[in-house]
Chain A
Amino acid sequence: MTSALRLLLGLIFAVILVGVATLHRSVLALAIPLLAYVFAALLRRPEALALDVRREVTPDYAPQGAPITIRLTITNQGAAIDELAVQDVLPEGVRQIDGQAAMVTFLDPHDQVELEYTIAAHRGAYDTYEVEVAARDFMSFFERPASYRTTPQLIVHPHYPKLERIKIRPPQTRGFAGPIGARQGGSGVDFWGVREYQSGDPQRQINWKLAARPDQKLYTNIFEQERVADVGIILDARQRVDVVTTSGSLFEHSVHAAAALAENFLEDGNRVSLVIYGSGMGRVFPGYGRHQRERILKALSRARPGINYALENLASLPTRFFPAKSQIVLVSPLSPDDIPVIIRMRALGYAVMVISPDPISYEAALYQDFSSPAYHLAFAERDFMLRQIRRSGAQVLNWRVDQPLQTAVREILTRQPPIIHVQGGAWA
């Protein structure tokens, strides 16, 4: 019963009372049209709703910001509805860019109505949608609201820039051909060494300089085999290293970087895995190719910074998840207590690359504060931390997020990583 009906009932009572009090038949007659109005509404009062609500999302897997079409179909499987107000509730992170998400209509039995509109969504997985409906009589004196939940899945993955090939050189490679030097002789591009000539070796590979020696032996050039490798990407999703400002969060940049790196390594044929380390430990097991890329992007779509006191520092990282002597790429703003963990990874034989979105410059840019003593002190602390990490043999990219990732990667990571010799063998 709406307030309009209550008002009208009160008016009818008032008119009747005035009519009785003043003994005027004509005043009583004024109540009749009002009563007729109320009785008509009573006759058309909405019954229990029996609506079938279906939702189609096209496409159901899209990059961030891409237009997505939502089609909502409502079929009436019950009695006729004089007035049906439909409002499709947009989840948080979704904005409407075209079409209509609300409508007022009537529905006879077995009739159907469609709403179609276009949205753009932030990165994430959208599983539950609500539709609010209200059935009314044609005078809107009686209302029967209801809420329907539909569950088609929509995954919006992060968009990411295309990076130039990043040169990595883990100690161990896999058996398939690829772009990474395998530290073994065979067919390839880079000169590796020489061996004695064997019948069947191509003439163009004979090392004629050595052949000019007095011993008259022939030697054949051999080249370094190029293979694919295992690459493990670790996305740091700990809330304590994230910086949230009014314009966004540093974590979003980390996610985009992780997506771009995964694409880059998978495109080279490498076997890539992902660990999201934060409120829990989300994992994508190692794999190749397009399907692996989709799995990684879906995992990144759901990634959120979180708090877990057991995972406050990187010491709980499951390094056993990564094959021995493989390449680890850590995407993290870093904190000083992460340094021993990175050094330990190097000690275990992993090649480590750190892509570190710079929280100092990110926050300073918000306040345009690049000259204060606090900024200089924080910058110096971070610089010292990064040097300690570099000294352990890890490649480090200190990424100011206002600079495109492609540019930062091109300047630092597209060069061959240095080979650092330590006692007992060559490490890279």
Chain B
Amino acid sequence: MRCIQLDFPVDNFNGYEFAYKVRAGYLLSTMMSVVGASTFYITYNYIVKSLSSLNKARFIYGSRMCIDEEVTEIIESFFQDYKEFKSIKHPPTQYFQTFKKLERELENVLDEWSDTFKARLAYHGYNGLFELVDDAYFVISHCDNLSVIENMKNLSVTDLLTNKETIPGTDYAVWMMPDKFYNEDVFETFMAESIDDIEPDMPYFIKCFDLPNLNILSSNELISVRIHLGELIDPIKNEIQKWALSCYMSNGNEPFIKNVLPRMDALQKAIDENPIIKHLKSIPAGCISAPVYMGEISPIILWKYYFEKKVLKEEEYNKLVNEYDSILNYTIPVMLFTAPGVGLKLIINSNLKESEVSEEVVITGTKKNLDIG
């Protein structure tokens, strides 16, 4: 079973669900391709440790993953100063010293931001993922439209979204999507949420299995679970891959209902009986259970989502939509990860940025005491 995750930076860096899907994909797939922001997050610690301040600034700025406006402004200001400094053939000593001071200040700012960012990466579940990267079954890549990093190969977003093989394993893959994907801006048609409602040409998401809090597993634990699960669920992965192929050929309703769904109990059993997962679910932080849905959607829905998220440019999106009628019908197989305790829920008004929908301050008095009668 091939899986692909294409993600992007979000406000306030809430990378928790991205890392979660990466881990889930690593455990369940034969090959997991990670493209976009998560690649930056996975490789960040490894890449920056040997960079000079200037190159670190270039990397952070060029990757466009640094969503901290204040730090971005400081870097831009430094680049401006650097450009001016370099334009002077023989800078006087005082100018040189001033520039060096600026460089040191930049270093301090970047070090501080970097340390906080690394802590957040660890908190959000990115620790240990770099050790798992392997050309055979866990591949990470950058993509155009999201980052411009020198000497790094960037995959084409358009090719990824139209099922063209950019690197082995990125085509005919199941798309790993977050719960925010299922929102009214993107899903304008009726969606089937039970088997009985599934009809041809209708998108659907059906609950398939649950996963615990994978984000606290170490890389060794992930390796152990993957190897153990691999032997047990190979037949299930094969059926899911066959279903995915059917989707890309035309649609996968029938193989999904006949061959994939009946195997989900066995998949759940294999997951639950793994000793590491059992151990994880026994602790409070580990037993949080996230429902995972699987289904099919039209390619237009996928393109619209990534267009809304500014991963796909407007001209690229328009071109894809305009050419849609000329291509053979096909669907996209999706694995949708929903929030623990919430399940499948259509999100309304998702265009608002997270910071804008963060809790409104409501002034009410709250009882700050025990009732002692």
Q: Is the pairing of A and B real?
A: no
Which A residues lie at the B interface, using CB under 8 A?
A: none
* B interface residues, Cβ below 8 angstroms from A: none
